[in-house]
Structure 1
Amino acid sequence: MPFACFTDLLSTTCWIHELSVLGQTRNMAALREIQARRKSVTNISKITASMKMIASTKTTRAQRAMNVARIYGKVSNNFVEQVEVKKADSAKELLVTVSSDKGLCGGIHSSLSRQSRNFLAQNPDAPLVILGDKAKAQLQRSYPNNIKYSFNQLGSSVPTFDEASTIASTVLNDKDLEFDNAKLMYNRFVSAIAFETDTIECYPISQIVEAPNFKSYEFQEDVLQNLNEFLFANSLHWALVEGHASEMGAKRTAMENATKNANDMINRLSLQYNRGRQAVITNELIDIITGASAL
Structure 2
Amino acid sequence: MLARQTLVRAATRASAAAAAPQQARNMATLREIELRLKSVRNIEKITKSMKMIASTKLAKAQRAMNAGKEYGLANSEVFEHVTDTTGGTKLFIVVSSDKGLCGGIHSSVSKATRRALANSPESPLEHDKSVDPASPLVVIGDKSKQQLLRAAGDNLRLTFNQIGRDIPTFADAAAVADLIIRSGVKYDSVVLIYNKFVSAISYAPAAIQVKGEEALKASDAFKTYENEDDATKDLAEFSLANAIFAALTEGHACEQSARRNAMDSASKNATDMIASLQMQYNRGRQAAITNELVDIITGASAL
Say whether the fold is shared (TM-score over 0.5).
Answer: yes
Q: The residue matched to 1:164 in structure 2 has which SS?
A: helix
Match of 1:283 among 278, 291, 296: 291
Instruction: Give the match for residue 230 of structure 1.
Output: 238
1:1-295 correspondence runs (5 A): 1=1, 3-81=2-80, 83-89=81-87, 91-122=88-119, 123-175=132-184, 177-215=185-223, 219-295=227-303
Tell me how far apart the structure 2 counterparts of residues 161 and 216 of structure 1 sit (CA, whole Å): 30
Q: The residue matched to 1:199 in structure 2 has which SS?
A: strand
Cα deviation, residue 5, structure 1 = 3.0
Tell me how far apart the structure 1 counterparts of residues 225 and 11 of structure 2 sit (CA, whole Å): 105
Tell me how far apart the structure 2 counterparts of residues 97 and 59 of structure 1 sit (CA, whole Å): 22
Tell me how far apart the structure 2 counterparts of residues 238 and 217 of structure 1 sit (CA, whole Å): 28
**Once structures 1 and 2 are overlaid, which stretch shifts more, 33-42 or 121-130?**
121-130
Tell me how far apart the structure 1 counterparts of residues 33 and 138 of structure 2 sit (CA, whole Å): 49
Is contact 1:102–1:155 with CA below 8 Å preserved after alignment? no
Cα deviation, residue 204, structure 1 = 0.8
Is contact 1:188–1:197 with CA below 8 Å preserved after alignment? yes
Cα deviation, residue 241, structure 1 = 0.7
Is contact 1:93–1:127 with CA below 8 Å preserved after alignment? yes
Segments of 5+ residues of structure 2 without an aligned counterpart are 120-131
Cα deviation, residue 154, structure 1 = 2.2
Identity of aligned residues (%): 48
Q: In the alignment, residue 113 of structure 2 is paired with which amino acid?
A: S
Q: In the alignment, residue 150 of structure 1 is paired with which amino acid?
A: T
Tell me how far apart the structure 2 counterparts of residues 22 and 174 of structure 1 sit (CA, whole Å): 72
Q: The residue matched to 1:200 in structure 2 has which SS?
A: strand
Q: The residue matched to 1:21 in structure 2 has which SS?
A: helix
Q: Normalized against structure 1, the TM-score is what? A: 0.95
Q: In the alignment, residue 154 of structure 1 is paired with which amino acid?
A: I
Tell me how far apart the structure 2 counterparts of residues 218 and 76 of structure 1 sit (CA, whole Å): 21
Cα deviation, residue 121, structure 1 = 2.8
Tell me how far apart the structure 2 counterparts of residues 21 and 73 of structure 1 sit (CA, whole Å): 74
Cα deviation, residue 216, structure 1 = 5.6
Tell me how far apart the structure 1 counterparts of residues 67 and 228 of structure 2 sit (CA, whole Å): 28
Tell me how far apart the structure 1 counterparts of residues 83 and 134 of structure 2 sit (CA, whole Å): 24
Segments of 5+ residues of structure 1 without an aligned counterpart are none
Superposed CA offset, 1:220-278 (max 9, x none): 54322211111000000000111100000000000000011011111111111111111
Q: The residue matched to 2:35 in structure 1 has which SS?
A: helix
Is contact 1:86–1:211 with CA below 8 Å preserved after alignment? no
Pair 1:196–1:232, CA change in 2 (3 A) = same
Is contact 1:99–1:134 with CA below 8 Å preserved after alignment? yes
Is contact 2:216–2:232 with CA below 8 Å preserved after alignment? no
CA RMSD of aligned residues (A): 1.4
Instruction: Give the match for residue 129 of structure 2.
Output: none
Tell me how far apart the structure 1 counterparts of residues 142 and 235 of structure 2 sit (CA, whole Å): 30
Tell me how far apart the structure 1 counterparts of residues 155 and 34 of structure 2 sit (CA, whole Å): 52
Count of residues in correspondence between the two structures = 291
Q: In the alignment, residue 56 of structure 1 is paired with which amino acid?
A: S
Tell me how far apart the structure 1 counterparts of residues 226 and 251 of structure 2 sit (CA, whole Å): 34
Q: The residue matched to 1:153 in structure 2 has which SS?
A: coil
Pair 1:34–1:157, CA change in 2 (3 A) = same
